[in-house]
Amino acid sequence: MIFETERSYFAPVKRKQNIILEDLLIENYAAEGKSLAKLNGKVIFVENTVPGDIADVQLYKSKKDWAEGFPLEIKKFSADRVEPFCAHFGVCGGCNWQMLPYPKQLEYKQQQVYDVLKRIGKVQLPELSPIIGAPETKFYRNKLEYSFSARQFIPEGMFRQMKKEEIDVTSIWEKKVAGFYAKGVFDKVVDIEKCWLQPEPTNLLRNSIADFARQHNFSFYDFKQHSGWLRNMMVRITSTGEIMLNLVLASEEKKNMKLLFDFILQQFPQITTLLYTINPKHNDSIYDLKPVVVKGNGFITEQLEDFKFKISPKSFFQTNTKQAERLYTVARDFAELSGKEVVYDLYCGTGSIGIFVSRNAKKIIGVEVIAEAIADAKENAALNNIANTSFYTGDVIDICNDDFFEINGRPDVVIVDPPRAGLHVKLVEKLLQVEAPLIVYVSCNPATQARDVNLLNTKYDIEKVQPVDMFPHTHHIENVMQLKLRTV
């Protein structure tokens, strides 16, 4: 059983305390992927467990009323557990709910939304609509990023066994690998053979490029030493069949680049756009760098309903296309548009939500801090022959002042889709001042959404709540809320 193997991966390398609770019954799901147990009135949050497990738990944080810990050993597995389908489960840090059947995942996510809205939001709630689950729980992502590394991650359980058997760990550590950084580890990568998140040719691409690079003795990046040539690769696959590959290299080595690109183009002619980005920095961010086109036009096109969206290498686009369509449909329904409304799409990104609802509105005003995203938004509006949109670059708390509203019109509907940190408090204050009749709040973090609606509750009532599962086998959850201005 993979559960037996899984145990050895749970314990992190360094923990400050040595308090062990034996035979602890895991009673319920908490949030952020953790479960909870109770002991003598104290709540214990435990990672990497399932309600119904009985485990020996080592604490790494202990306060008066609560504590946090991890399982040293699971003595009895919950009846809810199922066999994870990925060979890398428990090691790479992704898809950490594979041991739960999908209906049970949805149940816990629904409960998570309700709990944080009640506990943090402290507001009157309508009945939550049943969570919209994903029809496909494997190969659902349209974008993945892999890392090449000169150092391989070794799980602690395996590391201990190797030390016990006096095996030379260095020779195994220093292996050229391609995959994902392990959770909490910055300098070693889990060597991935098959990832279940994105359809082919993504696995074949990654493995073939890594094999070719090893054969030709290309150096893989060493994040600790900041040396090595081959750094990262990003694969994007659209529902329309287009494929983008962006290779990130540490320097422009013409001979190696020609060898590698010729190999890729010969072996994978189905790639629509091939690019490379030179990144000499000590971090993996490429948003201040310029990708160079090797093949194709430098972008791919995705489709939601009959709307088309141009996606560049640095564009943000929802990574689950089918669920994005459902999420945007909910947002459009919650906006209750009749064709007469001025809609403000704040944190608009590449304009996808605003464009998706534009046919039902009089005018769309989009605001986003990233200039490249606004450029994409304008191109996407033109691509769909939509003339009733205006997009502005800048921070929403700076742009959305009285003059801006005076020029563009007072909002009838405000749609917000902020990052995980939620709305800036100054934007909340501005929304309360502007008093748009209706707000649609799309969130990837129900906890910060709950905090924000608690502040908005001085003038707004929550009318509808709709959770949407964008990321099966993870604890992440999207949630859409409709808020209406209180009339009395």
Residues belonging to the active site: 444
Burial 14-44 (b: 16+ CB within 10 A, else e): eeeeeeebeebebbebbbebbbbbeeeeebb
Residue closest to 355 by CA, chosen among 319, 331, 334? 331
CA angle, 125 then 30 then 180, to 5°? 115
128 secondary structure, DSSP code? P
Q: Residue 58's beta-bridge partner residues? A: 20, 70
Token pair for 346: 């704040």
Alpha-helix runs per DSSP H in 23-145: 102-116
Q: Residue 62's beta-bridge partner residues? A: 67
Alpha carbon distance 455, 432 (integer Å): 9
Q: 3-state SS of the chain: helix, strand, coil percent to 5?
A: 30, 30, 45
8 Å CB contact between 29 and 11: no
HSE toward the beta carbon, residue 484, CA cutoff 13 A: 11
Name the region of 307 (left: φ>0; alpha: ψ -120 to 50; beta: rest). beta
The kind and range of the H/E element at 159 are: helix 156-164
8 Å CB contact between 67 and 44: yes
Compute the CA torsion angle 161, 165, 168, 169 (nearest 10 deg).
0
